[in-house]
Amino acid sequence: MAERLATLVGIYALLGLGYQIVFGQLRALNLAQGALFGVGAYATALTGPQLGPFALLIAPLAAAAVAALAAPPMLRLQSHYFALATLALASLINLVAVNAENLTGGANGLVGFGLGLPKGPTLAALVWLVLVVAVIAYASVFRAAIGEKARLLRDAPLVAASLGVDGALWRFLAFVIGGACAGLAGGFSAALTGVVSPEATGFSIMLLCLTAVVVGGARHPLGAVLGAAVAVLLPELFRGLQGSWLLAYAAATLAVVLWAPEGLAGLFTRRDAMPIPLAAAPVSAARRLALDHVSKRFGGVEALRDVSFTVERGEIVGLIGPNGSGKTTLLNAISGLARADSGTIALDSLHLERLAAHAIARRGIGRTFQAPIEGETRGAGLARALATGAAFLLLDEPAAGMTDRERDLLAGQLRGLRRDRGIILVDHDVELLTRVCDRLVCLDGGKVIASGTPAEVRADPRVRASFLGLPA
Amino acid sequence: MLITFQLVLNGLALGMAYALVALGFVLALNASGAVNFAHGDLVVLGGAVAVLLASWLALPGFLLLPLVALALAGAGVLAAHVAILPLARRPPEATFVATIALAAIIEQTLTVTMGAAPRTAPPFLGSGAVTIAGEPLGLQPLAIVIVGAVLVAALWFLLERTQVGRRMRAVAADRHMARAVGIPVRRYVTLSLALSGALAGIAGFLLGHQFLVTPTQGAGHMLKAYIAVALGGWGSVPGALIGALAIGIFETFVSAEVGDAWASAALYIAVLLVLTLRPRGLFGEPLGQRA
């Protein structure tokens, strides 16, 4: 009896651990995890008669295969469509389990598939061995750098892309590996009970998985284990309650969401600040960033018109212009967050226009954003961009909201960074730009209306009229 | 397939009942900016309340309807205060998980109190049929179509022609801007959830006569509304109406031809195909990015 409970805790913990990767780390609301558990259970039951205990290996493969086949169109979807698509996939799997009687035995399910695996202590030991290895692997993967990138992917996907994180690949891997964990858990469950019925693919398994992970702690390495222990052991303790334990468990889940978002595991761990490794020198060898006739339209608005200029390593180019003149759009076009409609953007001889944002970041272009991520200090964005080893930095209003003293400090930092980097600096503070920039480029209505030394640009009559608000 | 008036009427009635579910779903979605996963269970709760009231009061169905609507409006307000308003500043996934828990709470409460066996909700007018132009037509489907049409018209009037409706739309479009111009956003979220609950309750009452009331039906209702809203354009009220009508008619005709299982399978495959080809729904999103 105790072995059986321990085995069950291990099985649901494995299911939940897989879910932590996709839901906890990437905040993707995958509602097919329960159905993938069922896929694993059926795969084991169907291949058990031929393969014996090796049928357990088929379980994660089958679930991963279903996940990998379904993933490519689904992973492009935004959160609510992703949840719906995974729910539709789960419903489809459940329909097959109920109705494909020749394969799945219909509502009666499958029984009598001997795996030739001794149940009891052997199975319990096997499940827990796999679980311990998986928990250790999870904990070591999501410690430090990868965990920090996952956090950025959750909280600030654009920043993650600007640091070279390939979000699509991450989501694919998380979905498939998480699905494989679910499949293996399903296989173990088939081995434990000796019965597989459509219930294994039903929404109640999904609900159990989701609530266990939320209650235990969605990201903590022991979150799923704790949650599964509560989910399996509580109803045993309160057998007298019969059906009401589900009610109590659902209420507990709601309470955890409201008052302890990090789950049970979060109650007795404190959050350590993640050290961000700062590369001392740029890694990229690129010498020159050149824009040639870059144009971009949004509907009827010409956000950029034939913008051309170059930035060499060792110089700071200030980008000025009134609000809406295209400054941020230009930074987005260079860093790949917006596609230029025409023109070329080249790093030495490498064309960037067709590359994805993460690929551009990996070639040596780092950037910061106007709005800071909640809970971060002001310098964090710049530190992150530097940590990529970028040779070129695109800084979007780094001085916004700074005091004069902070601006002086920033100017000093920028001069230091210029030694071996090229910088494009967007800001409204023309005094600051004049002090630190080698050249200024002034945009108006998406066009370059002036460029040259700060003194030349500030003296330009059109710049004085359109941007500085001074008489020409 | 023999297309009879009765089949067309059944399709329209199912579509109209789904439309009430989907309209409630989209009202809550627009107000809170997040999916209310418990919406399907509010529908079941509406059916259960109707069963309960019918066993207490010897009232005809059309007099029970306002009572069911009122009770479920209360349930909607409760849902807003328990699982939606406290999570307004958290990522939309938090609301999603909280409402999934709320859905389980409602389902388990119903299982514990009324048992798992299906119950029959009272009919709106009667359970017989009337003969119109030589065609026998079921009274209940007829009542569903008429009640549904009246409620849809009333909702249109509220949203498009009254100050309250304008403010609800303002909150849906941009809650920060709405707050900046002096609209009490929390109050309008609560009001939207009350309306959403009332619509869900009425739908549950109307569906509960033909399709019975079982505690586990909630997820299915929620999924239909979710599909209708995703296909019709996330956040679009007319889109939800059209999407739900289409699903009801599709299900009725396809299951008359090839059975329920294939009808459901075809619906889910259609959803996956549509989302593959049009990642923002069949008609795009009227309100831009939201979750």
Tens of pLDDT, residue by residue over B92-142, are 778 888 999 999 999 999 998 888 889 999 998 887 788 877 777 888 999
Backbone angles phi, psi at A324, to 5 degrees: 80, 10
- What is residue B286's predicted lDDT score, i.e. its pLDDT? 57
Q: How confident is the model at residue A270 (pLDDT cuts 50, 70, 90)?
A: low
* Chain B 84-123, residues with CB within 8 Å of chain A CB atoms: 86-87, 90-94, 96-98, 100-102, 104-105, 108-109, 111-112
C-alpha dihedral (A298, A299, A303, A308), degrees to nearest 10: 90
**A210 residue type, one letter:** L
Q: pTM for this one? A: 0.81
Tokens standing for residue A416: 């230091």
A322 exposure class (CB count in 10 Å sphere: 0-12, 13-18, 19+): middle
Task: Say how many Å lie between the first and final Cα of chain A, rounded.
Answer: 89
Q: What does the alpha-carbon distance between residue B35 and residue A88 come to, in Å, rounded to a whole number? A: 16
Task: Output Rg (C-alpha) for chain A, integer angstroms.
Answer: 28
Residues 6+ apart with CB under 8 A from B83: A254, B36, B38, B95, B98, B99, B101, B102
Name every chain A residue with its beta carbon within 8 A of the beta carbon of B101.
211, 214, 250-251, 253-254, 257
Which residue in A78, A333, A446, A247 sits closest to B106, CA to CA? Answer: A247
B268 touching A, CB under 8 A?
yes
Tokens standing for residue A94: 């459940």
A65 exposure class (CB count in 10 Å sphere: 0-12, 13-18, 19+): middle
Indicate yes or no: CB of A29 within 8 angstroms of CB of B264: no
Best of B35, B81, B97 to substitute, by most chain A Cβ atoms within 10 angstroms, is B97
Indicate yes or no: CB of B280 within 8 angstroms of CB of A81: yes
Residue B42: C-alpha distances to residues A409, B48, B78, B113, B136 (Å): 58, 10, 11, 16, 33
Residues B173, B287 contacting (CB under 8 angstroms): yes
Q: What does the alpha-carbon distance between residue B262 and residue B268 come to, in Å, rounded to a whole number? A: 10
Quick check: A273 pLDDT over 50?
Answer: no
Q: How confident is the model at residue B6 (pLDDT cuts 50, 70, 90)?
A: confident
Residues A98, A38 contacting (CB under 8 angstroms): no
Residues 6+ apart with CB under 8 A from B6: B135, B136, B137, B138, B141
- What is residue A243's predicted lDDT score, i.e. its pLDDT? 66
Residues B221, B229 contacting (CB under 8 angstroms): no
Q: What does the alpha-carbon distance between residue A190 and residue A108 come to, in Å, rounded to a whole number? A: 14
CA atoms within 13 A on the CB side of A154: 24
Q: How confident is the model at residue A40 (pLDDT cuts 50, 70, 90)?
A: very high
Of the listed ranges A54-68, A106-120, B179-193, the one predicted with least confidence: A106-120
Q: What does the alpha-carbon distance between residue A70 and residue A64 come to, in Å, rounded to a whole number? A: 10
pLDDT per position as a tens digit, B31-55: 988 889 999 999 999 999 999 999 9
- What is residue B288's predicted lDDT score, i.e. its pLDDT? 42
- Residue B176: CB atoms within 10 A of its CB come to 7
Q: How confident is the model at residue A241 (pLDDT cuts 50, 70, 90)?
A: low
- Residue B66: CB atoms within 10 A of its CB come to 11
Residue A297: C-alpha distances to residues A293, A301, A303 (Å): 13, 6, 5
Parallel/antiparallel/unpaired status of strands B129-132 and B135-138: antiparallel
Which residue in B196, B188, B195 sits closest to B170, CA to CA? Answer: B188
CA distance B161 to chain A (A): 30
